[in-house]
């Protein structure tokens, strides 16, 4: 029997959209495919899965409880409300900054204004907060999306955010990271690294869950 059977697993997936006004937002390229693949694979292994999803166009995997959110603040609230759990997997691409305020009306071009400066404020780090929460899950697994120096940044996040495991992927290249159906992950922990893929995100998700199961057994 899978070590995930009967465990409560919370997965975040997709982007967050940070509204500027009623018609515009700041977003990113996450499709949700990687996080949905993880949620789907965990449910197939018998886990009780809560999937907190940013704005994506994907069907809900079988036997998964889905909570749709839009902004980083909403994702933070939904993930926190889903605690306690046995495993938290943060696959979402959460905005690091959000507009200081949302204009109630459509922002208009001003005559003679050729540039526009937006004032942004840091969002709360959901993953780091979950890892330091009084109801800390037994395992907290992060992702790292990097264009360069992947191992250095991933290992930095592993330590700074107090994670058990971090799955790093290259973004900004074909066949990996955002939007693609394929990916390659390198999962780092305090002791070493395991490469998963290249392959379909569904297969990579299975490999990541094998690593998680080994830590739960
Ligand atoms: O959705 P797809 O199109 O399938 O693409 C998959 C993916 C590239 C989005 C996915 O594999 C991935 O890498 N997800 C994490 C993207 C990301 O935001 O990485 P980061 O290095 O900026 O953040 C590090 C970790 O902190 C992530 O686990 C993130 O969820 C978490 N975080 C970041 C900021 C914040 N405010 N709160 C967080 O929880």
Confirm whether 122 is domain-assigned. Answer: no
Confirm whether 189 is domain-assigned. Answer: yes
Confirm whether 62 is domain-assigned. Answer: yes
51, 92, 159, 163: residue to mutate for ligand 1 pocket, most atoms within 8 A of CB: 92
Confirm whether 105 is domain-assigned. Answer: no
In the block, residue with structure tokens 């955010």: 161
Confirm whether 115 is domain-assigned. Answer: no
Exposure string over 10-48, b if 16+ CB within 10 A, otherwise e:
bbbbbbbbbbbeeeebbbbebbbbbbbbbbbbbbbbebb
Gap from CA of 142 to ligand 1 centroid (Å) = 8
Q: Is 166 near ligand 1, meaning CB less than 6 Å away?
A: no
Q: Which residues of the chain have pLDDT under 70?
A: none
18, 79, 144: residue to mutate for ligand 1 pocket, most atoms within 8 A of CB: 144
Can you give the CATH number for the domain in which 22 is found? 3.40.50.10300
Nearest to 35 by CA among 190, 214, 169: 169
pTM above 0.95, yes or no: yes
Confirm whether 108 is domain-assigned. Answer: no
Between CA 193 and CA 200, with CA 194 as vertex, the angle to 5 degrees is: 140
The span from the CA of 130 to the CA of 84, in Å, is 10
Helix, strand, coil percentages, rounded to 5, for the chain: 25, 30, 45
Active-site residue, 105 included: no
Q: Is 87 near ligand 1, meaning CB less than 6 Å away?
A: no
Q: Is 127 near ligand 1, meaning CB less than 6 Å away?
A: yes
The HSE-up count of residue 31 (CA atoms within 13 Å, CB side) is: 15
**pLDDT value at position 217?**
84
Structural domain total, the chain: 1
What are φ and ψ of residue 197, in 5° steps? 95, -170
Of 28, 105, 169, 191, the active-site residue reads: 28
Confirm whether 176 is domain-assigned. Answer: yes
- Find out whether 82 and 26 touch, Cβ atoms under 8 Å: no
Confirm whether 191 is domain-assigned. Answer: yes
In the block, residue with structure tokens 């977003």: 27
Q: Which domain, by its residues, includes 26?
A: 8-98+127-216
């Amino acid at each position: 029997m899978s070590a995930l059977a009967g465990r409560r697993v919370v997965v975040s997936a997709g982007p967050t959209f940070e509204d500027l006004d009623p018609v515009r937002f700041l977003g990113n390229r996450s499709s949700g495919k990687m996080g949905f693949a993880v949620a789907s694979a965990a449910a197939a292994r018998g886990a009780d899965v809560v999937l907190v999803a940013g704005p994506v166009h994907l069907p809900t995997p079988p036997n998964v409880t889905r909570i749709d959110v839009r902004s980083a603040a909403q994702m933070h609230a939904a993930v926190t409300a889903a605690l306690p759990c046995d495993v938290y997997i943060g696959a979402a691409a959460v905005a690091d900054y959000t507009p200081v305020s949302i204009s109630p009306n459509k922002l208009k071009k001003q005559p003679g204004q050729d540039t526009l400066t937006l004032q942004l404020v840091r969002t709360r780090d959901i993953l780091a907060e979950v890892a330091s929460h009084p109801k800390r899950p037994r395992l907290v697994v992060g992702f790292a999306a990097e264009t360069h120096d992947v191992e250095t940044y991933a290992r930095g996040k592993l330590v700074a955010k107090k994670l058990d495991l971090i799955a790093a992927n290259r973004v900004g290249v074909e066949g990996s990271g955002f939007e693609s159906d394929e990916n390659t992950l390198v999962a780092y922990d305090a002791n070493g690294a395991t490469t998963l893929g290249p392959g379909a995100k569904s297969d990579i998700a299975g490999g990541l869950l094998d690593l998680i199961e080994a830590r739960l057994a």
